[in-house]
Amino acid sequence: MAGRHRSYEGPGNTPRGRGGGSGGSSFPTGLVAIGAVLVLAAGGGYVYYTKKHDTTATAGNSGTSSAANGSCAAPTTLNVDANPDVYTAVKAVADGMADPCVHVNVSSAEASAVEAFLAGSAKGGDVTSAPDVWIPDSSMWIDIAHTGGVKSLAANPAPVATSPLVIGMPKPVAAAAGWPAKPFGWADLLANFKTTKLQTAVPDPTTSGPGLAAITMLRAAVLGPAGTDKAKQSQALQNLTLVYRVMSTSVSSSMSALLTGLPTQGATAAGAGGIAAFPSTEQKIAAYNTASPATPLVALYPSDMGTMMMDYPYTISSTLDAAHAKAAADFQTLLHSPAAVNTLQKAGFRDPKGAAAGILTSANGVNPAVPALAPADTTHTAAGSALSVWKVTSEQTRGLVVMDVSGSMGLTVDGQVDPNTHTPLSRLQITAAACLTGLPLFGDSSQLGLWTFTTKNTADGGGTVHKELVPMGPLSAPVGAFPSRRAALNAALGQLSIQPGSRNGLYDTILDAYQTVLTGWAPNESNAIVVFTDGKDDGLNSMSADQLITKLNALKAANPNHPVRVMIVALGSGVDLTTLSKITGAANGQALHADTPADIGSAVIAGFAGRLSDQ
């Protein structure tokens, strides 16, 4: 039916899906990632996500016809939305349907775009009407649709094809790592996020089935070992946020875009740089290799916990009239016929039971044996929970880093020494180093700035002094003599120095920073402030803590749709965490205590994870 979707122009130009923006998140994702790379504990134990299907559904003959026993007044048009990777094969089957009373109109549509339209959350896009039949690449999208309140999908859809989720890797890189003799698992991928020995990439999980499947499996890998222990769950969620944050720095718009860019962006040898590992379907790896690329790919099947099978469920609308319902049933029967299964297998898909044929050969970098599969997610909530955490974690940041440079920040920390000079490190030096370590976790479109603050002595008239070292703006934009704001921040953080004899003036600075970030507030970004201080206010501000809280509450009430979140990381002993918590509570944030600046990574990521809801 013309006009339902943009025309399909091949795997390199698929219709776009729903974007991943998420305004008003529960905590300032970007800023709290500063220093978070200091903490990552990869766990074992995993959970598999899929629906249980009746794969023994009767596969009818290709000659099924609603006109077998008579003629029809007019053909019934059945509108089918098929995921782009399976679209060509499904359309070929539809075009061969010998039934004059049924016309099957197959459109290519990203599963995320169909889900968003059905849930009423689409903002424009290519899907303009609900399909009669929807074939996403995974049942995960159906569960997300159900969570979003969609009630128009028939229960227990059966798959028309399958393809395992794999880790794609250039063959020379895999061979150097011990492939095929040495297995590669999800734990290896998690460990790589800590060491970054391999450059990874991921297709956007908000729009891509393999991307969504990957973050769902990694969620299970990190959270699974925690069991029901609350403390372990909290620690595991901290680790998951860091994994997602690292992943979010290398996101491709789609699976096709990632593969299209590999000839110029992929690694050609171990240690050569370039993309060296990414989640994919097995079908995509085999299809890529049939073009005889200069650097072929191999599919790695995680064996430590098993993997997920993308199941391409044939999902019928529950609102169809009798004629359309029969047409949908007839087309489903045709798709299960031997001829149709052969068409799908030639395209690189397995049959609904996982049997491989066609291009699924070792010569094309895949293993035709049925891979180990992880246990089923019987709650049907894992993908939705993973996606919720991902959206918060990966959103862009607009905010200020505010650093205390008062005299007490110059105190040295026991046991902390410069590895080169072996001289003791101060609170400020360790905090600045943590910020430098975390800065790469921010994408170039994030907007950051850096302030320092202190307070004059009473003899000098008192009063809080804050200094803008780097104005807030996009990390990729040039600043002064620096080619980018990222370079300016690196330089400024490396040159921070204590103001001798100065004292801490926290309250005035928080209010000024809040007002600065509020001005020019940006939707679909985390508008936030993170303050690093020794937590001791010396009473030389122009206001008390209670007065600051009153002012913050007034600003929040006057701008209810423009939240600005404040997090304070208090360093050292003797901090007044109760007062700091009241202040940050008035600004949708949190106050965290680190016994020493060496604990800053743990404190920051703990605060972030504590504000997330993992269902």
What residue spans of 97-162 are helical by DSSP H? Answer: 111-119, 140-147
Please name which of 96, 74, 394, 421 lies closest in space to residue 246, comparing C-alpha atoms. 394
Please compute the mean of the pLDDT values over residues 558-567 and round it to a whole number: 92
550/25: higher pLDDT: 550
Structure token digits, residue 408: 């007490």
Beta-bridged to residue 313, according to DSSP, are: 159
Please name which of 193, 293, 176 lies closest in space to residue 242, comparing C-alpha atoms. 193
Q: Under a CB-based contact definition with an 8 Å cutoff, are residues 397 and 27 in contact?
A: no
Q: Residue 43's pLDDT band (boundaries 50, 70, 90)?
A: very low
Q: Is pLDDT of 610 > 60?
A: no
CATH of the domain at 561: 3.40.50.410
Q: Under a CB-based contact definition with an 8 Å cutoff, are residues 194 and 38 in contact?
A: no
Range from 202-211, 292-301, 411-420 carrying the lowest mean pLDDT: 411-420
Number of other residues whose CB lies within 10 A of the CB of residue 442: 23
Q: Is pLDDT of 598 > 70?
A: no
Please name which of 397, 471, 382 lies closest in space to residue 441, comparing C-alpha atoms. 397
Highest mean pLDDT among 260-264, 525-529, 575-579: 260-264
309 contacts: CB under 8 Å, gap ≥ 6 = 50, 162, 163, 164, 165, 354, 373
Q: Is residue 601 part of a domain?
A: yes
Q: Is residue 494 part of a domain?
A: yes
Q: Is residue 464 part of a domain?
A: yes
Q: Under a CB-based contact definition with an 8 Å cutoff, are residues 454 and 405 in contact?
A: yes
- CA dist 109 and 229 (Å) reads 41
Give me the pLDDT at residue 27, please.
Answer: 35
Give me the pLDDT at residue 601, please.
Answer: 60
113 contacts: CB under 8 Å, gap ≥ 6 = 15, 16, 17, 18, 122, 125, 126, 127, 207
Highest mean pLDDT among 59-63, 436-440, 563-567: 563-567
Structure token digits, residue 517: 């970030």
250/160: higher pLDDT: 160
Residue whose tokens read 């709290």:
32
C-alpha atoms less than 13 angstroms from C-alpha of 422 in its C-beta half-sphere: 0
Q: Is pLDDT of 362 > 90?
A: yes
Give me the pLDDT at residue 30, please.
Answer: 40
Range from 321-325, 347-351, 378-382 carrying the lowest mean pLDDT: 378-382
Q: Is residue 87 part of a domain?
A: no
Please name which of 240, 135, 260, 139 lies closest in space to residue 186, comparing C-alpha atoms. 240
Give me the pLDDT at residue 393, please.
Answer: 77
pTM flag (> 0.75) = no
How does pLDDT run across 439-455, given as a tens digit for each residue? 877 777 889 999 998 87
Beta-bridged to residue 466, according to DSSP, are: 453
Structure token digits, residue 456: 């004059």
- The bridge status of strand 397-404 relative to strand 275-281 is unpaired
| Percent of all residues in the chain with a pLDDT value above 70, rounded to a whole number | 81
Q: Is 275 helix (H, G, I), strand (E, B) or coil?
A: strand
Give me the pLDDT at residue 462, please.
Answer: 54
Q: Is 182 helix (H, G, I), strand (E, B) or coil?
A: coil
Please compute the mean of the pLDDT values over residues 569-586 and round it to a whole number: 87
What residue spans of 442-494 are helical by DSSP H? Answer: 485-494
Number of domains the chain contains: 1
Report CA dihedral (55, 56, 57, 61) to the nearest 10 degrees.
110
| DSSP states along 510-522 | HHHHHHHHHTT--
Give me the pLDDT at residue 386, please.
Answer: 92
Range from 1-5, 239-243, 273-277 carrying the lowest mean pLDDT: 1-5
Please provide the average confidence, as pLDDT, over all residues in the chain: 83
How does pLDDT run across 274-331, given as a tens digit for each residue? 999 999 999 999 999 999 999 999 999 998 999 999 999 999 999 999 999 999 999 9
Give me the pLDDT at residue 272, please.
Answer: 86
Helix-helix angle 84-95:338-346, to 10 degrees: 140
Q: Is 615 helix (H, G, I), strand (E, B) or coil?
A: coil
Phi, psi of 256 (to 5 degrees): -65, -40
Range from 211-220, 254-263, 394-403, 471-480 carrying the lowest mean pLDDT: 394-403
Give me the pLDDT at residue 415, please.
Answer: 78
Phi, psi of 36 (to 5 degrees): -70, -20
Q: Is residue 65 part of a domain?
A: no
Q: Which range marks the domain in which residue 531 is found?
A: 396-610
How does pLDDT run across 52-111, given as a tens digit for each residue? 333 333 333 444 444 444 567 889 999 999 999 999 999 999 999 989 999 999 999 999
Q: Is residue 570 part of a domain?
A: yes
Q: Is residue 457 part of a domain?
A: yes
Q: Is residue 404 part of a domain?
A: yes
Please name which of 388, 380, 412, 361 lies closest in space to residue 534, comparing C-alpha atoms. 412
Q: Under a CB-based contact definition with an 8 Å cutoff, are residues 15 and 113 in contact?
A: yes
Give me the pLDDT at residue 240, please.
Answer: 85
Beta-bridged to residue 168, according to DSSP, are: 278, 299
Give me the pLDDT at residue 3, please.
Answer: 39
Please compute the mean of the pLDDT values over residues 209-236 and round it to a whole number: 88
Q: Residue 25's pLDDT band (boundaries 50, 70, 90)?
A: very low
Range from 19-23, 262-266, 492-496 carrying the lowest mean pLDDT: 19-23
Range from 18-27, 240-249, 337-346 carrying the lowest mean pLDDT: 18-27
- CA dist 473 and 444 (Å) reads 10
Q: Is pLDDT of 136 > 90?
A: yes
